[in-house]
Amino acid sequence: MMTQLLRWACLFIIGVCGLSTLASAQQNEPLMPYTYAMYCHQCHSQEPGVGPLGIMDMKDKDGNLMHPEYIFGNVRFGFKAMPAFRNSEVSDQEMQEIVTYLKNLATYRAAKPQ
């Protein structure tokens, strides 16, 4: 009986800690991946503002949500002023990290508008 009670208490504590960790993770701005910092942030930031900032909200210039494949295609093949990045420069895995970061950032920014 005591062992079972102790086991339930441990599970409860683990569950509460897990939920608080999840809640705090959603409250913090997502960490920028190294690849984004190296290749994207230079243009897609407030200064100099060369690239569109809507990318931070996963939206195009008209305010429509961007599909991750759209971002993938623009990065891989380039579009207008956006240069193309070969697979040797930005791997598919790094590209997925960038898209995941942008999706998480858009969710964070929607929850905490400035």
What is the chain's mean pLDDT, rounded? 79
What number of residues does the chain have?
114
The answer to whether 109 and 101 have CB atoms below 8 angstroms apart is no
What global pTM score does this model have? Answer: 0.68
Sequence-distant (≥ 6) Cβ neighbours of residue 78 within 8 angstroms: 84, 85
Centre a 10 Å sphere on the Cβ of residue 40 and count the other Cβ atoms it contains.
21
For residue 82, give Cα distances in angstroms to 7, 16, 40, 47, 79. Answer: 56, 45, 10, 17, 5
Q: What is the mean pLDDT of residues 2-29?
A: 53
pLDDT over 70 at 10, yes or no: no
